[in-house]
Amino acid sequence: MTDEFIRRVTGCRRCPRLVDYLAMVAPAKGRSRQDYWNKPVPGFGDMKARVCLVGLAPGAHGANRTGRPFTGDGAGDFMYPLLHRAGFSNRPQVEDLQDGLELRDLYITNAVKCVPPENKPQHLEYQNCLPYLEEEFSALENLRVVLLLGQGAYNSYLRLLKSRGEIRSLSEHPFAHGACFQPNVNGPHVLASYHTSRYNVQTGRINPQMFLELLSKARELAGII
């Protein structure tokens, strides 16, 4: 994305509850507030990407600390090695903005760019942030697959499709792991996944094989060899 977009997102204060929360997120043990990004977190990746992965929101001690989606928390620790195995990146481990990570044919972002209390954005916060997500999609001219992690991100994207008249209702397309449809023959496929949160991994709701199969499906739908 352009520097101008990144400046606008990182300076955004549209959601008062989230702005207040950012000011009071307590650092994890052994860290100080100076170690934290503590701003909205824009997406990143290959602007020629055919696949866009959308999560819910920055993790309090992951993306909200490092400034990059899924970097520094359990969800990313699960996901990035598998993205590498599937051919979407140049390295399996990630640490921070200086780790040299490059995505290939993949762009990663969140439906809501600010960390929400208890990982639960409110409806208005999804709505406030949707224009940024829309801008990211518009900038991805080769986009063929939108891979949505978790019901929050999935429903947020479906609301965007509904506002464009590409679907009639959200209830016609219920969330399920592996759910897939193409709302418009000229537009990207929609592919749903359980979120890769530490909770979902620890409870066995999602495992590496399930996620790898979904990444393989995303590559196939996107025509990536």
Spell out, one character per residue from 13 to 42, where the chain touches ligand SF4: x when CB under 6 A holds, - when not. Answer: xxx--x---------------------x--
- Based on the shown chain and the rule CB under 6 A, indicate whether residue 114 belongs to the binding site for ligand SF4: yes
Number of residues that bind ligand SF4 (CB under 6 A): 13
- Based on the shown chain and the rule CB under 6 A, indicate whether residue 140 belongs to the binding site for ligand SF4: no
Spell out, one character per residue from 39 to 58, where the chain touches ligand SF4: x when CB under 6 A holds, - when not. Answer: -x------------------
- Based on the shown chain and the rule CB under 6 A, indicate whether residue 75 belongs to the binding site for ligand SF4: no
Residue nearer to ligand SF4 on the CB measure, 42 or 183: 42
- Based on the shown chain and the rule CB under 6 A, indicate whether residue 129 belongs to the binding site for ligand SF4: yes
106-110/44-45 β-pairing: antiparallel
- Based on the shown chain and the rule CB under 6 A, indicate whether residue 128 belongs to the binding site for ligand SF4: yes
- Based on the shown chain and the rule CB under 6 A, indicate whether residue 160 belongs to the binding site for ligand SF4: no
Residue nearer to ligand SF4 on the CB measure, 46 or 125: 125
Residue range at the interface with ligand SF4 (CB under 6 A); choices 7-15, 46-54, 88-96, 187-195: 7-15
Residues 119, 164 contacting (CB under 8 angstroms): no
Q: Which tokens is 183 given?
A: 């709302």
180-181/145-149 β-pairing: unpaired
- Based on the shown chain and the rule CB under 6 A, indicate whether residue 125 belongs to the binding site for ligand SF4: yes
Could you say which residues in the range 93-112 bind ligand SF4, by CB under 6 A? 112
- Which residues contact ligand SF4 by CB under 6 A? 9, 12-15, 18, 40, 112-114, 125, 128-129
